[in-house]
Amino acid sequence: MSETKSDVRDRARKAGSRRRWIIALLVVCLIAVGIYLFLNREQSRAAKQGQKPGPPAIPVVSAEAKKADFNVYLTGLGSVTPVNTVTVRSRVDGQLMEVLFREGQIVNSDELLARIDPRPFEVQLTQAEGQMARDVAQLKNAQLDLERFRVLWEQDSVSKQQLDTQEALVRQLEGAVKADQGQIDSAKLQLIYCRIHSPITGRVGLRLVDAGNIVHAADTNGMVVITQLQPITVVFPLPEDSLPQVLSGLKTGRRMPVEAYDRALKQRLATGSLLTVDNQIDPATGTVRLKAIFPNEKNELFPNQFVNARLLVDVARGVTVIPAPAIQRGPQGTFVYVVKADRTATVRPISVGEIQGGEASVKTGLSPGELVVVDGADRLREGTRVEVRAQGPSTPERAY
């Protein structure tokens, strides 16, 4: 059968309808792919925008561990004590005529300090000398009479009793002459005491008596106090557990240096040496007192001044030394932060020896040449990136 025009139109209409559906489907697919690509790109952009940068490096101050000799000190708070302290008093009663020193003056031994009115003692000396002249004359006369009595007794012209009486009179007058000589010496001594001299070389304190006053030998306050300043000593306590170290050093006979610092342990005032150790331990405090002597040539130390005395008892040779602020403490013990070559910090457990004057000796856990964090460790953790802003000094204390 031949196709009719109606059939041809139907077939053409159906073919056109299929093409439209295919085209519509392709458009939908393209739109879906475009939407997918757009959404994927937006998500990637959002992910990149929301991504946070890495943490910045922490600025720190570091120091290099050194190998050096490390001084071991024992420190005690003590007081400066003069070797000699003298209260100058009058040894006679009288009026203070003249004061020849200035308050705070440095006086030498046997230097004249003051004068007391000598006239009463000059009168006593004159009286004693007159009494002695009379007694000497009587003694000479009695001695001549004694010689006569002996001649007469040999001639049997006088009795034995008269001779013995004359001999007793001579001995009596000899005693009187000796007593007179004692009175003369006493008066001369009083005259010497009228001139008051300094018994030691030292610094004069504040004047306690003014010229014109009557002074007595029984006065308790005295006239002035003199303290010896050169040399001078420092008495300081140490715990009884430290006594074996000190005694072992004294037994060797070597000089044990002692440094005197101010109360803040910042300024060194003077350098001396250990003189001696007390002979007993104070049971109330568990400490023993030590005495150190200082030349004090420039008067750096002052009597009764409080100072920190640092006694050098040992020198650790060739140990690893780091600044004390680098040491950290935690539940696992002591540790330091070590700066590695990649500029990250790592925790390093260490065993600490002695800590002296801002420096610490390390027994184990650290080698010379390694960098340790001195400042800024409170912000660090294991593996934290660091930026070494400055490098602190790491100069250990040198041995004597």
**Which ranges of the chain have pLDDT less than 70?**
1-16, 38, 42-54, 390-400
Q: Kindly state the percentage of the chain with pLDDT values over 70.
A: 89
pLDDT of res. 49 = 53
Which residue shows structure tokens 């004294």?
250
Q: 3-state class of 225 per DSSP? A: strand
State the pLDDT at residue 109. 93
Angle, helix 119-154 to helix 160-193, in steps of 10 degrees: 160
Q: How many Cβ atoms from other residues are within 10 Å of residue 25's Cβ?
A: 10
d(CA 378, CA 38): 48
Looking at residue 1, what is its pLDDT? 44
DSSP state letters, 94-154: EEEEEE---TT-EE-TT-EEEEE--HHHHHHHHHHHHHHHHHHHHHHHHHHHHHHHHHHHH
| pLDDT of 399 | 39
Q: Which of 149, 168, 166 is nearest to 157 (CA)?
A: 149
Residues 375, 379, 380, CA angle at the centre, nearest 5°? 90
What pLDDT is recorded for position 44? Answer: 61
Q: pLDDT tens for residues 206-257?
A: 999 999 999 999 998 899 999 999 999 999 999 999 898 899 888 888 889 9
Short-list 337, 399, 352, CA closest to 71 = 399
What local confidence, expressed as pLDDT, does residue 214 receive? Answer: 94
The DSSP secondary-structure symbol of 201 reads S
pLDDT of residue 381: 85
Cα dihedral across residues 7, 11, 14, 16: positive or negative: negative
What is the reported pLDDT for 7? 61
DSSP SS3 for 246: helix
